[in-house]
Amino acid sequence: MISEHQFKEICGRVRALLYFGSYTREDYVEGVSDINVIAITDDKSVLMELASMDLSPVVMNEETLHVLCREGDPLCYYVLNDSKLICGSLPNFTFNFTKETCSKLLRYSRTQVKLSLEGVARGDEISSVNNLYRGIRSFIRSKCCAKGNIPLSDGEVMECCKTIRNDELCELFSRVRDLRKNREPVTYWTIRRFMRVVEGEIGSRED
């Protein structure tokens, strides 16, 4: 992990600083995964400083965090369940599952698939495979969310996917996860295949 000494000055200006996401798990892939951090502070200048360290930062104050938690934003869930404290201490908060929780995961999935298509179009292999991986993972999370569970690690996502009873979806996630791990590109047709699976899942839900 990044040396805590690099955060020393920033730590003096935040309520809490945390890693969250794959960097805290075995799913992290060097050179592919983002290193996500979240800073709880009123000092917005922290955002640029963290970004200059090749991190993917989120900066918010305590009030905003409480609003996200109350509204059921998945980011609050990740801070609570999928993070590692770098310095400071988190304020007391409770995540509240709402109807928006699963909807936001689904919307994020669609956004990531669009970014994956854009990556293929411009020949950006890392972006295309990483965003498709995120898109499939978030779609599975949205399906599991409807059952009151948001799986975090790849292993948890795969286990939950099996309960959805869609073998093609689980196989696609496994395949794209391996492509990402090996830094191999995805094709337009792999993305289209996932989009067809999504259309089929949504169609069956509406029947």
Classify 83 as helix, strand or coil: strand
For residue 126, the model assigns a pLDDT of 93
Q: What is the CATH number of domain 4-88?
A: 3.30.460
User: For the sheet containing 16-20, what is the strand order?
Assistant: 56-60, 36-40, 16-20, 83-88
Contact assessment for residue 157 and residue 135, using Cβ atoms and an 8 Å cutoff: no
Determine how β-strand 83-88 pairs with β-strand 36-40.
unpaired
3-state helix, strand, coil in the chain (%, to 5): 60, 10, 30
- What separation in angstroms does the CA of 197 have from each of 35, 137, 204? 30, 13, 11
Q: Give the model's pLDDT for residue 207.
A: 43
Q: Which of 153, 148, 173 has its CA nearest to residue 161?
A: 173
Residues 6 or more apart whose CB falls under 8 angstroms from that of 24 comprise 82, 83, 84
Residue reference for tokens 């972006």: 127
- In this structure, are residues 22 and 33 in contact, taking their beta carbons and an 8 Å threshold? yes
> pLDDT at position 204, please?
55
pLDDT for the residue 6: 79
Nearest to 138 by CA among 19, 18, 21: 21
pLDDT of residue 200: 81
From the first residue on, what is the mean pLDDT of each consecutive set of 10 residues in the chain (207 residues)?
Answer: 76 94 90 93 95 94 96 95 94 92 95 96 94 97 93 96 92 96 94 92 57
Distance of CA 104 to the CA centre of its chain: 11
